[in-house]
Amino acid sequence: MSNERLLKVLLAPHVSEKSAMMAEKASQYVFRVAPDATKVEVKLAVESLFNVKVESVNVLNQKGKRKMFKGRTGTRNGSRRAIVRLTEGQELDFVSGE
């Protein structure tokens, strides 16, 4: 798999209260990923970008909410997320530049 594709798979880390608790307790990290990304691509991207060993990857699709905009119905954009579990004793640090 090309390095260009691996760089396009991960879009951003998903930061929320729930994802912070998952990172502390279970060594699981949540990323927003490309809509056509597979579990294998996510695993390879995380391992190559962060130099860690990935134990498992779970992927979920979240459909966009239907909302009213000035009297008309519309739909917000959906998203695809990946929950990545690292092997025991490893962690990711998004804040530092290392």
**Domain annotation covers residue 92:** no
**Domain annotation covers residue 42:** yes
**Secondary structure letter of residue 65 according to DSSP:** P
Q: 21 — phi, psi (to 5°)?
A: -70, -40
**Domain annotation covers residue 97:** no
pTM summary value? 0.85
Three-state secondary structure call for residue 30? strand
> Based on C-alpha coordinates, what's the Rg of the chain?
15
Range of the domain at 22: 3-86
Question: Residue 3: how many CB atoms within 10 A of its CB?
Answer: 9
pLDDT digits (tens, 9 = 90+) for 2-33: 889 889 999 999 999 999 999 999 999 999 99
What CATH number does the domain containing 68 carry? 3.30.70.330
- For residue 95, the model assigns a pLDDT of 63
pLDDT digits (tens, 9 = 90+) for 44-81: 999 999 999 999 999 999 999 999 988 999 999 999 99
